[in-house]
Amino acid sequence: MNGFTRVGASPDAAFTVDVDGTPVPVVPGQTLAAALWAAGITAWRTTRGQGRPRGAFCGIGSCYDCLVVVNGVAGVRACLVRPEAGDVVRTHE
């Protein structure tokens, strides 16, 4: 049993986005951060000082920790953006 069936959801078919060259499935309605978590990717940035892993933290667009590059546009908050099929996502330096 997965999360969708547990809540009785019936989402439309998933599509994929390219995250650093890897296809990641996205269910319509998911934010990019949610899709990354579902794919087991919980960290996609590192801290400047000691290189510690960072990903989504607040999940509501306030902390700016979850930044990614989407279709060439930098500084996008993964917890807010809803990807579309074929989007190209690159993680930051």
Partner 1 sequence: MTEAPDVVVVGAGMVGAACAYYAARAGLAVAVVDRGPVAGGTTGAGEGNLLVSDKEPGPELDLALLSAQLWTRLAAAPARPLASAGPGPDTTFGALAEYEAKGGLVVASDEQRLDALCVFAAAQAAAGVVAVPVRHDELAELEPHLSRDQVGGVHYPQDAQVQPALAAAHLLRLARESGAVVRLGETVTGIERGAGGRVTGVRTDRGRIAAPAVVNAAGTWGAAIAASADVVLPVLPRRGFVLVTAPLPPLIRHKVYAADYVADVASDSADLQTSAVVEGTAAGPVLIGASRERVGFDRTLSVAVLRRLAAQAVALFPRLADVPAMRAYRGFRPYLPDHLPAIGEDPRVPGLFHACGHEGAGIGLAPGTGLLIAQALTGEKTDMDLAPFRPDRFEAGESAAEGAAP
Q: Does 75 bind partner 1 (CB under 8 A)?
A: yes
HEC secondary structure over the chain: CCHHHHCCCCCCCCEEEEECCEEEEECCCCCHHHHHHHCCCCCCEECCCCCCEECCCCCCCCCCCCEEEECCEEEEECCCCCCCCCCEEEECC
Residue nearer to partner 1 on the CB measure, 80 or 85: 80
Q: Does 53 bind partner 1 (CB under 8 A)?
A: no
Give the Cα separation of 14 and 91 in Å (integer): 22
Of 17, 66, 67, 89, the residue at the interface with partner 1 (CB under 8 A) is: 67
Residue nearer to partner 1 on the CB measure, 29 or 75: 75
Of 64, 82, 85, 86, the residue at the interface with partner 1 (CB under 8 A) is: 64
Site size toward partner 1 (CB under 8 A) is: 8
**Binding stretches for partner 1 (CB under 8 A):** 48-50, 64, 67, 75, 92-93
